[in-house]
Amino acid sequence: MAWEEVKPILRPEGVHMGIMQLDKDLCTSCGLCIQNCPFRAWEMGEDEYPKLKTEYECFSCYNCMVVCPVEAISIGEQYHVDSGFWVTDPHPLPAKMPLSPKDADGNSTEWNTIESAIYERRSVRNFKEDPVPESYIQRVLEAGRFAPSAGNCQPWKFTVITDKALMKEIDEAVWGVINGIYTMFKNDDTVEQMAGMVDPANPGLFDPRLAHGGMGAIARKFGPPLLNAPAVILILGDSRSIGGPQINVGICGQNMNLVANSLGIKSCWVGFVATLHMVPNFVEEKLGIKPPWQIISSLVMGWPEFKQEGIVPREYRPVTWYRDGAEGPEIEE
């Protein structure tokens, strides 16, 4: 693709990072908001209160808010894009807590166990050094093995890594790839050379939240790709699978994620490991992975260093209903 075609993707306009607000009357300056932000958007101010940096990335994950023990952090403005290729619809989307549950007769009720587990689950990125028992890892793997798949093709295979030396090699290899891409991306003199890397059918690699936030965090070494977790499960997909491996691995991995959470160990998706396929010979020689198998994603797991779970608002898009007997679609705000 020509540069002018991909410029709105690689150099978008109208991008507004999230703005979080701090109530100094409540804040205890514990610093957990700084520690739990994956992009290090916060820093400690001269007055010993956290503040957002002058330049930062925030895509409204609310990790800072959920970890605050005194509820001193609130939403000022959500991440949104008001024009161009990445425009959000609408902008910004309203942030809502889970809708109140009702029973079959429409009466108020309580969330069941599964609902509570889903709403309270959060991606955890800060772990203790303590190892994860293999018996627990096996239970997580079984949850993935018994996931539904298109045509029952079960196109997954798992590689478990607890070897710290190998994890370090993976971290360094992923950093090398991401740093190379990010360095080109940030430089106005070299970004035009990336036009050929943009797949119009799958442009998500350059979504500002990933290009600036995710890749930027790794390139600037805010933390290693595998997050210093004591265990990682590489989720491999068969490239021949019905419907493609990504959706099947997503279903499989979410089963694993929820079971890990239920066991007290916590987890986080790390998709950047798929870039290992861009490192010559690494995947085959270091990990023994050969076609048709490929790394689709991974789960890093460990015991949480501090509480990082809880319910936060999520974007809410209007739902369109086609109800029996209605004259047409009804949009529920």
Biggest CA–CA distance in the chain, Å, is 64
**Overall average pLDDT of the 59-66 stretch:** 96
- What is the band of 201 on the pLDDT scale with cuts at 50, 70, 90? confident
Per-residue confidence (pLDDT) for residue 200, from 0 to 100: 85
- Among the candidates 71, 93, 115, a domain finishes at 93
**Overall average pLDDT of the 43-59 stretch:** 97
CATH number, position 233: 3.40.109.10
- The yes-or-no verdict on residue 333 having pLDDT over 90 is no
Q: Tell me: do 276 and 143 sit in the same domain.
A: yes
Contact yes or no for 185/280 (Cβ under 8 A): no
Q: Tell me: do 175 and 295 sit in the same domain.
A: yes
Is beta strand 156-161 parallel, antiparallel or unpaired with respect to 266-269? unpaired
The amino acid at residue 6 is V
Domain span at residue 285?
Answer: 123-302
CA dist 23 and 73 (Å) reads: 6
pLDDT tens-digit readout, 294-328 = 999 999 999 999 999 999 999 998 899 999 999 99
pLDDT tens-digit readout, 135-145 = 999 999 999 99
CA dist 310 and 112 (Å) reads: 16
- The yes-or-no verdict on residue 172 having pLDDT over 80 is yes
Per-residue confidence (pLDDT) for residue 151, from 0 to 100: 97
Q: Tell me: do 183 and 258 sit in the same domain.
A: yes
CA dist 176 and 149 (Å) reads: 34
Q: Is 300 helix (H, G, I), strand (E, B) or coil?
A: strand
Asked if residue 325 belongs to a domain, the reply is: no
Neighbours of 147 (CB within 10 A): 17
Neighbours of 175 (CB within 10 A): 18
Per-residue confidence (pLDDT) for residue 166, from 0 to 100: 98
Neighbours of 7 (CB within 10 A): 17
Q: Tell me: do 152 and 63 sit in the same domain.
A: no
Supply the mean pLDDT for the chain.
95
- What is the band of 88 on the pLDDT scale with cuts at 50, 70, 90? confident
- What is the band of 92 on the pLDDT scale with cuts at 50, 70, 90? confident
Q: Tell me: do 62 and 208 sit in the same domain.
A: no
Q: What are phi and psi of 160, to 5 degrees?
A: -100, 130
Neighbours of 218 (CB within 10 A): 23
Measured torsion, CA atoms of residues 212, 213, 219, 222, in degrees rounded to the nearest 10: 150
- The yes-or-no verdict on residue 203 having pLDDT over 90 is yes
Per-residue confidence (pLDDT) for residue 332, from 0 to 100: 86
Q: In what order do the strands lie in the sheet with 231-238?
A: 156-161, 231-238, 293-302, 266-269
Asked if residue 323 belongs to a domain, the reply is: no
The count of domains in the chain is 2
Per-residue confidence (pLDDT) for residue 133, from 0 to 100: 98
- The yes-or-no verdict on residue 94 having pLDDT over 90 is no
Q: Tell me: do 162 and 83 sit in the same domain.
A: no
CATH number, position 28: 3.30.70.20
Asked if residue 203 belongs to a domain, the reply is: yes
Asked if residue 252 belongs to a domain, the reply is: yes
CA dist 231 and 253 (Å) reads: 15
pTM (predicted TM-score): 0.94
Per-residue confidence (pLDDT) for residue 89, from 0 to 100: 77
Q: Tell me: do 142 and 273 sit in the same domain.
A: yes
Asked if residue 211 belongs to a domain, the reply is: yes
Give the C-alpha distances (Å, rounded to integers) separating 168 from 151, 272, 294: 37, 14, 20
Of residues 223, 174, 181, 264, the one with CA closest to residue 63: 223
Q: Is 268 helix (H, G, I), strand (E, B) or coil?
A: strand
- The yes-or-no verdict on residue 277 having pLDDT over 80 is yes
- Among the candidates 41, 71, 93, a domain finishes at 93
CA dist 256 and 258 (Å) reads: 6
Q: What are phi and psi of 155, to 5 degrees?
A: -90, 50
User: Is there a cis peptide before residue 292, judged by omega within 30 degrees of 0?
Assistant: yes
Per-residue confidence (pLDDT) for residue 230, from 0 to 100: 98
Asked if residue 103 belongs to a domain, the reply is: no
Bridge partners, residue 98, by sequence: none
Q: Tell me: do 80 and 148 sit in the same domain.
A: no
Asked if residue 307 belongs to a domain, the reply is: no
**Overall average pLDDT of the 42-51 stretch:** 97
CA dist 272 and 125 (Å) reads: 14
Per-residue confidence (pLDDT) for residue 139, from 0 to 100: 98
**Overall average pLDDT of the 210-225 stretch:** 96
Neighbours of 46 (CB within 10 A): 6
Token pair 């890990």: residue:
260
Q: Tell me: do 157 and 76 sit in the same domain.
A: no
Q: Tell me: do 150 and 281 sit in the same domain.
A: yes
Q: Tell me: do 70 and 175 sit in the same domain.
A: no
Asked if residue 273 belongs to a domain, the reply is: yes
Q: Tell me: do 176 and 42 sit in the same domain.
A: no
